[in-house]
Amino acid sequence: MAHSFLETVQKHLQIAADVVQLPRHVADILAHPKNEIIVNFPVRMDDGSMRIFTGYRIQHNNIRGPYKGGIRYHQDVNLDDVKALAALMTWKCSLMDIPFGGAKGGVKVNPHLHSKDELMRITRRFTHALGSNIGPDYDIPAPDVGTNAQVMVWMMDTYMNRSDDLTKNAQRGIVTGKTINAGGSQGREQATGQGVAFCVREWARMKGIVLSGKRAIIQGFGNVGSYAAKFLDQLGVRVVAVGDHTGYLRNERGFDVAKLFNHARQFGSLAGFQEGDPISRDEFFQTKADIFIPAALENQITSKEAEWLEVQCVVEGANGPTSPDGDTVLTAKKIDVIPDILANAGGVTVSYFEWIQNKRSEFWDLEEVEQKLEKKMVKAYAKVMEYSKRKGISNRIAAYAIALENLKVAYEERGIFP
Ligand code: NAD
């Protein structure tokens, strides 16, 4: 049966709520976002014409700390998907023991169809339209699909220009994932892909698998996919098939990952890369490998793709890449799933480090950031595996359950106002 992304997330919430015996009223609170903000705003195009854009910010929950979550620029952005993504952020921050809540936002726009100047004006007007609905101690955006460090710097600059001179510099933490120059953290750009690779490493270690020479396939070669490829390459894993919105490529000997990475950076996609055979999306999912990293969009692994997959492990770099039917097939085939809220939590973890550095006017070196990230990822990974084994439940429900246990305590201690 086909489920929307939001239904999928809500279904997982219900199952995990039963596992932790979450009080009914807390489950009800968490089934709905606290705030749903929709803004329509005009932007002048390069040719002088005016276009109206629709933007969203969903603030799911902030009992454990300020709302936190990415901003997506994509033509398919819609209210329900952003609600699902915002809820995932609440679970993710809780699972990682980061003092943030969950949020997500986006603009319905295909960024590939706009010039840099237009993207800047879209970003500035969107930030302006959000106004005081965001703030460095209230709701802190970050990059997601279709946005990057440059977009975050435009958001920061726009927000800072709303404040008076005396407090301007205290507003730097309004976004994370900024360029280093603008107050970003070392290691943030690669953090999500690096976190994915830490999960792969821990998976192999716990299973007694030698990673060197193993094969990986990666869907999505943007921020998460390309850095995951880089770190897997460093672990000796061969990346044998990749794909993005422009198509799929296979190279049985293993791609020269550095070359592939530079190509994607230079041209914005995999299109035109010569050292691989073009294959269809179906052939991509049928490529025999050991590890699959979905790093594109949600609902990519339905029962059909799951039937095709010939891998030992799926490490979810993307948010919500597996449908419930896909999950059922993966479980039946005994394919290990490292769920999104664990596997891609490296990004928000280093975003948290960036936020702390901004607050304290500090700059940590890369080594320090990487060590702290590794510690957090390894700890959370072990926790999820231990919990799922002890309770006899899937890794996904275990990850949700750990997140819900922390939220349950927060609601028990604080109660419901008034
Ligand atoms: P990105 O925009 O940098 O890259 C997205 C990639 O997906 C691109 O290679 C694009 O071509 C590809 N893609 C888009 N539509 C596709 C399609 N229909 N078929 C195949 N490929 C397609 O985005 P990103 O930041 O790398 O995010 C990827 C995923 O990881 C998303 O689910 C996002 O929510 C999640 N995520 C990102 C971060 C982060 O720090 N950026 C953190 C946690 C989770």
Q: What is the pLDDT of residues 246-263, one digit of tens each?
A: 999 999 999 999 999 999
**pLDDT tens string 214-245:** 999 999 999 999 999 999 999 999 999 999 99
Residue nearest to atom 33 of ligand 1 (CA): 318
Pocket test for ligand 1, best of 9, 90, 145, 298 (most atoms within 8 A of CB): 145
Give me ligand 1 centre to Cα 294, in Å.
9
Question: Is 2's pLDDT higher than 90?
Answer: no
Residue nearest to atom 2 of ligand 1 (CA): 145
Q: Are 72 and 82 in contact (CB under 8 A)?
A: yes
Cis bond upstream, residue 99 (ω within 30): no
Query: What amino acid occupies position 130?
Result: L
Give me ligand 1 centre to Cα 223, in Å.
7
- CA geometry: angle 33, 42, 38, nearest 5 deg: 10
Phi, psi of 255 (to 5 degrees): -70, 150
Q: What is the position in ligand 1's atom list of the atom closest to the CA of 191? A: 40
Give me ligand 1 centre to Cα 369, in Å.
23
Q: Are 48 and 82 in contact (CB under 8 A)?
A: no
Evaluate whether 33-168 and 191-338 have a shared fold: yes
**pLDDT tens string 154-212:** 999 999 998 888 989 999 999 999 999 999 999 999 999 999 999 999 999 999 999 99
Q: What is the position in ligand 1's atom list of the atom closest to the CA of 146? A: 2
Residue nearest to atom 29 of ligand 1 (CA): 318
What mean pLDDT is predicted for residues 382-387?
98
Distance CA 140, CA 100 (A): 9
Q: What is the position in ligand 1's atom list of the atom closest to the CA of 148? A: 3
- Residue 387, SS3 per DSSP: helix
Q: State the DSSP H helix or E strand holding residue 331, giving kind and residue range, or none if neither.
A: helix 324-332
Q: Among the residues of 132-280, which ranges form H helices?
A: 149-160, 188-207, 223-234, 257-267
Q: What is the pTM of this model?
A: 0.98
Question: Is 406's pLDDT higher than 80?
Answer: yes
Q: Which of 120, 296, 329 is nearest to 221 (CA)?
A: 296
User: What pLDDT score was predicted for residue 3?
Assistant: 74
User: What pLDDT score was predicted for residue 281?
Assistant: 98
State the pLDDT confidence band at 1, using cuts at 50, 70 and 90.
low
Residue nearest to atom 30 of ligand 1 (CA): 318
Q: Which of 182, 180, 181, 137 is nearest to 155 (CA)?
A: 182
Catalytic one among 68, 83, 92, 104? 104
Residue nearest to atom 15 of ligand 1 (CA): 245
Residue nearest to atom 14 of ligand 1 (CA): 245
**pLDDT tens string 298-354:** 999 999 999 999 999 999 999 999 999 999 999 999 999 999 999 999 999 999 999
Give me ligand 1 centre to Cα 340, in Å.
13
Phi, psi of 208 (to 5 degrees): 70, 35
**pLDDT tens string 4-20:** 999 999 999 999 999 99
HSE toward the beta carbon, residue 256, CA cutoff 13 A: 7
Residue nearest to atom 42 of ligand 1 (CA): 347
Q: Which two tokens stand for residue 19?
A: 């596992």
Distance CA 373, CA 201 (A): 14
Query: What amino acid occupies position 260?
Result: L
CATH topology of domain 33-168: Rossmann fold (3.40.50)
**pLDDT tens string 59-99:** 999 999 999 999 999 999 999 999 999 999 999 999 999 99
Give me ligand 1 centre to Cα 21, in Å.
34
- Ligand 1 proximal residues by C-beta, below 6 Å: 143-146, 192, 219-225, 243-245, 269, 295-297, 317-319, 344, 347
Give me ligand 1 centre to Cα 93, in Å.
19
Pocket test for ligand 1, best of 152, 192, 279, 302 (most atoms within 8 A of CB): 192
CB contact burial 266-289 (16+ within 10 A = b; e otherwise): eeebbeebeebeebeeeebbbbeb
List the chain domain ranges.
33-168, 191-338
- CATH superfamily, domain at 191-338: NAD(P)-binding Rossmann-like Domain (3.40.50.720)
Pocket test for ligand 1, best of 244, 265, 293, 354 (most atoms within 8 A of CB): 244
Distance CA 223, CA 349 (A): 16
Give me ligand 1 centre to Cα 219, in Å.
9
What mean pLDDT is predicted for residues 45-60?
98
User: What pLDDT score was predicted for residue 35?
Assistant: 98
**pLDDT tens string 23-44:** 999 999 999 999 999 999 999 9
Give me ligand 1 centre to Cα 336, in Å.
22
Q: Is 34 a catalytic residue?
A: no
Q: Which of 409, 401, 408 is nearest to 341 (CA)?
A: 401
